[in-house]
Structure 1
Amino acid sequence: MRRDDKVEVRIGNLVKLMEAELPDAVAKAQEIWERGQRPNVVRVRRPYLRLELFGGVVVDERKPLPREKRPISAQMIAPKGLSLKLHLLMLFAAQCEVAPGKKWSQPYPAEPTPQKPDSWMGLAASVAQYAGPGVQASSVRTNKLRQVVEAMKALEKKNLVESVTGVAGQVKRGILLGCENGKSTRAASIPYTVPMDNEPYIEIPAEFFTRGWIHVLTMSEIAAILMWLDILKFDSRQITLPGATQPVTMGFVNSFDRHGWYGLGRETYETHQPLRAFQLLEVYDPPKRHDDGKWEGYNDDHREMACHKIVMTPEGFNREAGKAVLEILRRRHATGEWGRALGW
């Protein structure tokens, strides 16, 4: 599929999402946040998105780390399916319900009931259409429930959730959350607790969930945001730009580290273009070389010289995600460029 065709399909799906499920899913996230702990950020343990031991050298973008050797979040990048988005929503919901260091004893059910109106169906948003009449036909609600349950089963296979019955595959009956650090097994699961201050974790702005960004970004864009949040927290540089008086916190990643630590390929890295257009990142091109080959203001690390420098713009998450992304996608489809909205 050509790139323009992919953008057109994405526009069509986003329009359907905004007309149907997105407003309700965003409203539910806001409701859960307001009546709960009201976290400013959602903490995610670092091993979820970055390997604790270097995964190996990748010399060819066409031959990345095997999927099973990547961090948990990178394993869930796929064109279809809700597993990554649903799991992040679970972490959001847990941190709205309980404080750091605490377990969430009663996670939501897959579908709402009169006794338990909060559900994973209500928090997730997907394009689930009516298939039409016939033996194989199913309603929009049935298709949505199927998508959610399949995502829950995928999370169960990665030991991120387990059925309350203790029987594999029965997640529809209820789940318990497992720790997101990837160290749980079927034989010995580690219950999920909200990360404490003394643990290494990244911080996702709460607006990522309450303003709908979790629903409208692609899996690759979400994985890239997780990576940049990690780099900017644990491996950033204070750099003063030309003409500026105050330094800014910047991060960069080369392909060696991107593959070996984060398990992410070039497609994910190149999401810096749409993420910049969506006003979630600022991107600075490598500075110009001097005649002697030196790069002004930087050390002699050649791996750094060719990298874009990234600054996160947390205020960008405060906007309504659906409208913001739709405007940029339409501009992209019309011009072929990842340009920002007028006035930015």
Structure 2
Amino acid sequence: MKEIDLDRSRGLSAKESSTFQARRTRLYGQFGTSADNATDALIDRFGAPGLLLTEGLRVRTHFSYLEKPIPGEDVSDRTAPKRAFRPPATMILSSKGAALRMYLTALAYAQIRNRPGRRALLDIPLTTFSREWGWSDLVATSAVQTGRGKSSSAIRDKKARTLATALDTLEEAKLVHLPGMPGKKGRYEGFSLLDESGWQRGGDPLPYIVPLKNEDYFTLPVGFITQGWLHVLEDSEIVLLLAIACRRGTLTAIGEDPDILPSEVAIPADVRLRNYGIHRDPFSAARKTLEWFGLLKVREIDRNYDGSAQDSATKLHRISLLPEGFESPALQSVRETIDHQLGL
């Protein structure tokens, strides 16, 4: 377990404290147990070391970055782009749903079971009451057993409903194909994974193919999957990680800005909004928590000690992804960080 080195000089606001309290309750409850179980279940599917373990999770750029924003769409940090005009990653994010985590889990599974250039084979059922794994074992939820006898609601049944809702969201974004008709039994069984471009591609959607080396993709550290960060991070934190790892449209080179290091990115507000679909408030909150969790390093430019801007400066934060941060067990790391910030 890494030593926690946090900036506590600013403390938590009342809103942040309330949010952390709720998050702590969830992570120490059934959701935390489910997150650990989902991580173990996916690792159990590993065979011989393959693409995911040797390189990390490959994600095509157009999942996170919209190459051609919708022209004429009025956006600002007060009015973020409508969901229909965002890249798939931020189109499907939710504070309570599982669509984003479901899709990234499916990408990871595809890269465990299939070589680059191969069409993804998702050879497990949505849920199962046998000893075999199903998708309900690979995605974390807060589902608990309720009721008694005939009126009892099994955890797997609740998980299946959560996954069904997630798959409906993914189908709408053209990220999966569902073989069954709406309202019909078996609608979600045997779903197939579609290319990360989702709604952006006209005509028939493309089936998902594990990315080849020469394709336009970026990677997330393997620990994002194997240490369970995928399950314990909020959707807003995941999409920010995707944006930082993607680096497209950001200031990255010394020639673009003399005060930026090769490992850093700086995301202009219009790019963050129009190309990544990330509003200022979730960006600011996610940037801070990911830094506390040890996944990002943030270098603030022209800021006072308390974080306020000097002379109304608007220079961009320099942000670096910290691959070593993903090597720690996510659930333990986040629990300890939250407890530390709350003074527990």
TM-score range normalised by the length of the shorter chain:
0.7 to 0.9
Spell out the pairing of 1:74-93 with structure 2 (5 A cutoff).
74-93=90-109
Number of the residue aligned with 2:39: 26
Distance between the aligned counterparts of 2:30 and 2:166, measured in 1? Answer: 18
Number of the residue aligned with 1:313: 322
Number of the residue aligned with 2:164: 149
Distance between the aligned counterparts of 1:82 and 1:61, measured in 2? Answer: 26
Distance between the aligned counterparts of 1:317 and 1:233, measured in 2? Answer: 25
> Contact 2:114 / 2:121 at 8 angstroms: preserved in 1?
no
Label 1:287 to 1:268 Cα distance change in 2 as closer, same or farther (>3 A): same
Number of the residue aligned with 1:300: none
Label 1:177 to 1:150 Cα distance change in 2 as closer, same or farther (>3 A): same
2:264 is the alignment partner of 1:255:
no
Label 1:105 to 1:237 Cα distance change in 2 as closer, same or farther (>3 A): same
The Cα of 1:52 is off from its aligned counterpart by 1.3
Label 1:17 to 1:135 Cα distance change in 2 as closer, same or farther (>3 A): closer
TM-score by length of 1: 0.82
How many residue pairs end up in the alignment?
315
Spell out the pairing of 1:161-172 with structure 2 (5 A cutoff).
161-165=176-180, 167-168=181-182, 170-172=186-188
> Contact 1:162 / 1:168 at 8 angstroms: preserved in 2?
no
Segment of structure 1 superposing worse, 170-179 or 95-104: 170-179
Of residues 234, 256, 261, the one that matches 1:218 is: 234
Instruction: String of CA shifts for 1:254-302, please: whole Å, max 9, x gaps.
Output: 211100110110123111111111110111011589xxxxxxxxxxxxx
2:135 is the alignment partner of 1:123:
no
Segment of structure 1 superposing worse, 16-25 or 77-86: 16-25
Number of the residue aligned with 1:243: none
Q: Give the % identical residues.
A: 26
> Contact 2:250 / 2:268 at 8 angstroms: preserved in 1?
no
* Equivalent AA in structure 1 for residue 17 of structure 2: D
Question: Unmatched 5+ residue regions in structure 1?
Answer: 240-246, 290-303, 336-344
RMSD, matched Cα: 3.1
* Equivalent AA in structure 2 for residue 260 of structure 1: R
Distance between the aligned counterparts of 1:59 and 1:95, measured in 2? Answer: 36
Of residues 12, 21, 24, the one that matches 2:25 is: 12
The Cα of 1:160 is off from its aligned counterpart by 1.2
SS at the partner of 2:198? coil
2:209 is the alignment partner of 1:193:
yes
Number of the residue aligned with 1:338: none
Q: Which has the higher contact order (CA 8 A, sep 6+)?
A: 2
The Cα of 1:173 is off from its aligned counterpart by 2.0
> Contact 1:184 / 1:190 at 8 angstroms: preserved in 2?
no
> Contact 1:28 / 1:123 at 8 angstroms: preserved in 2?
yes
2:55 is the alignment partner of 1:46:
no
* Equivalent AA in structure 2 for residue 30 of structure 1: I
The Cα of 1:100 is off from its aligned counterpart by 1.3
Label 1:19 to 1:198 Cα distance change in 2 as closer, same or farther (>3 A): closer
> Contact 1:162 / 1:175 at 8 angstroms: preserved in 2?
yes
* Equivalent AA in structure 1 for residue 224 of structure 2: F
Distance between the aligned counterparts of 1:120 and 1:59, measured in 2? Answer: 37
Number of the residue aligned with 2:9: none
Segment of structure 1 superposing worse, 264-273 or 211-220: 264-273
Distance between the aligned counterparts of 1:131 and 1:186, measured in 2? Answer: 45
Question: Unmatched 5+ residue regions in structure 2?
Answer: 1-13, 256-260, 305-312
Instruction: String of CA shifts for 1:130-153, please: whole Å, max 9, x gaps.
Output: 343598752222212211122122
Of residues 75, 85, 89, the one that matches 1:69 is: 85
Which contiguous aligned blocks of 4+ residues in structure 1 show a shift greater than 3 angstroms? 33-36, 55-60, 131-137, 167-171, 183-187, 232-235
* Equivalent AA in structure 2 for residue 190 of structure 1: L
The Cα of 1:157 is off from its aligned counterpart by 2.0
The Cα of 1:161 is off from its aligned counterpart by 1.2
Distance between the aligned counterparts of 2:76 and 2:51, measured in 1? Answer: 44
Label 1:17 to 1:251 Cα distance change in 2 as closer, same or farther (>3 A): farther
Instruction: String of CA shifts for 1:288-344, please: whole Å, max 9, x gaps.
Output: 89xxxxxxxxxxxxxx96111011110110100001001111122239xxxxxxxxx
Instruction: String of CA shifts for 1:134-185, please: whole Å, max 9, x gaps.
Output: 98752222212211122122212222111245x3564432211111112488
Distance between the aligned counterparts of 1:310 and 1:222, measured in 2? Answer: 15
Instruction: String of CA shifts for 1:32-85, please: whole Å, max 9, x gaps.
Output: 234462422111111111111134575632211111101111011211110000
Label 1:30 to 1:305 Cα distance change in 2 as closer, same or farther (>3 A): same
The Cα of 1:112 is off from its aligned counterpart by 3.2
